[in-house]
Amino acid sequence: MCAPMGTPTSVLLGLLRACHPGPTLAVTALVTALAVGSGQNLVGCLFVAAAVLTGQLSVGWSNDAVDAGRDRALGRTEKPAVSGLITTRALWVGAGLALAACVPLSLLSGLAAGGFHLLGVAAAWSYNLGLKATVLSWVPYVIGFGQFPAFVSLGLPGEPWPAWWSVLAGALLGVGAHLANVLPDIDGDLKTGVHGLPQRLGPRRTRVLTAVFLVAAVAVLWWPAVVVAFGLALAPRYVRRPDAPLLSAIAVAALAVVLLLVRGTG
C-alpha cells in the first residue's frame, strides 16, 4: 500500500518511479562506460556519471510533469503523478534542481565537453516541452545521443575531437531509440493530440524505420556485424508475439551499444 500523498516517503518513491529509471540508468551507465573505454581517469569518469545522471533525471521528471494531463486522460495509473503518489509541482521542483546541478557538473569536464552535454540536455527538454508533438520529434534524439561521444572525448586531456563515425553512430542510435520508444504508445498519443514523426508514420512504417536506423548504427561501427543485426531485425517476422518488434529493436540497439563501447570515441 502506498504512503499518503505528500509524505517524504511518497515523494521519494514518486521521484524514483517518475525518473524513468530504466533509460536513466542505462544511458548513465553507457556514457560512463564510454568514458572508461576512452581512457578517462577515475575522477573524470565520476564527473561524467554525475553530469549524465542529473541531466537524465531532469529530463525524466520534466517529461512526466509535462505529460501528466495526457497520462490522466489515458488512465495511465502506473504513472506516479496520475496515481497520486507525487504532485506535478514536486516533479517540476525535482527537474529544476536536477538541471541546476547538471550545469556545473557538466562543466567539470571542461567548457567544450560540458557545452556539448548541456546542448544534449537542452534538446531533450525541447522534446518534452513541445517538439515531441511535431514532425521534428526525432531531432532532439539526434542531438542528445550524437553529442555523447563529443562530451566524453573533449573531456580527455588535450580535448581531442571524437571520430566522425562515433558521432554518426550515436545519432543513428538516437533516432532508432526514439522510434522504438514511441512505437507501443502511438495509438494513445494520437488520441491526446501528439503527432510526432512516429505517430504520423504509423506503427508499420515506424517498425521498419526503427530497424533501418539501428542496423545503420551497427554498420557504421563495424560493418561485418550487419549480418547479425539483420537477423535480429527480421526476427519479429518469425516470432509471433506482440512485443517481438520492441524486443528486436532492443537487441539490435544492444549490439550497437556494445560495438560503440568496444570502439570507444576514436
Q: Find the angle CA(230)-CA(255)-CA(157) to the nearest 5 degrees.
A: 135
Q: Which residue has the higher pLDDT, 266 or 82?
A: 82
Q: How many CB atoms lie within 10 A of CB 187?
A: 10
pLDDT at site 1: 38
Each residue's pLDDT tens digit, 119-159: 999 999 999 999 999 999 999 999 999 999 999 999 999 99
Do 99 and 210 lie in one domain? The reply is no
Instruction: Please give the distance of CA 137 from its chain centroid, rounded to a whole number.
Output: 13
Across 201-227, average pLDDT: 93
Do 7 and 126 lie in one domain? The reply is yes
Do 188 and 237 lie in one domain? The reply is yes
Assess if residue 206 is contained within a domain: yes
Q: At residue 30, does pLDDT exceed 70?
A: yes
pLDDT at site 240: 67
Q: Find the angle CA(117)-CA(119)-CA(123) to the nearest 5 degrees.
A: 120
Do 20 and 126 lie in one domain? The reply is yes
Q: What total number of domains does the chain contain?
A: 2
Assess if residue 70 is contained within a domain: yes
pLDDT at site 3: 41
Do 75 and 169 lie in one domain? The reply is no
> pTM of the predicted model, to two decimals?
0.91
Assess if residue 141 is contained within a domain: no
Q: Give me the percent of the chain exceeding a pLDDT of 90.
A: 75
Assess if residue 251 is contained within a domain: yes
Assess if residue 260 is contained within a domain: yes
Please give the residue range of the domain that contains residue 174: 163-266
Do 254 and 173 lie in one domain? The reply is yes
Assess if residue 147 is contained within a domain: no
